[in-house]
Structure formats: structure tokens, C-alpha cells
Amino acid sequence: MFKIFKRKSKLEKLDIQYRKLLDESYHLRNSNRKESDLKKAEAEHILIQIKSLQDKI
């Protein structure tokens, strides 16, 4: 009910950022392959951070 007051954890923030980068990469793949590859590489870097946080939990 009071979800607006709940803060997002670092894991949730990284997951949102990861999904956003993958989505951008997907949309760029037809128009600009190089930019798409850069976005995907950034997403993979964030995925590594997510996995390291999950291992700590």
C-alpha cells in the first residue's frame, strides 16, 4: 500500500539499469550495430555486478 515510500535496493536499481541497457541494445541493433554492441557490453558489466551482489547475500 505504501510502496511509494519504499526505497529500492542497489540490486533492484542495477536490475532496472541492466534491463534498460538490453532494451536499448535491442532497438539499436538494426540501425547502429557498433552502438548496440557498446550497450550490450555495458549491460554485461552490470550483470557481473548483480551476480557479485547476489553472491554476498
Residue 51, domain member (yes or no): yes
Tell me the per-residue pLDDT of 24-54, one tens digit each, with 9 for 90 and over. Answer: 999 999 999 999 999 999 999 999 999 999 9
Residue 45, domain member (yes or no): yes
Cα–Cα distance measured from residue 15 to residue 10, given in angstroms and rounded to the nearest whole number: 9
Residue 48, domain member (yes or no): yes
- Residue 18 pLDDT greater than 80, yes or no: yes
Residue 46 lies in domain: 8-56
- In total, how many domains does the chain have? 1
C-alpha cell at 18: 541492466
Residue 29, domain member (yes or no): yes
Q: What angle do CA 4, 22, 14 make, to 5 degrees?
A: 40
**Residue 2 confidence (pLDDT):** 64
Identify the CA nearest to 43 among candidates 16, 6, 8, 4.
Answer: 16
Cβ atoms of 40 and 25 within 8 Å: the answer is: yes
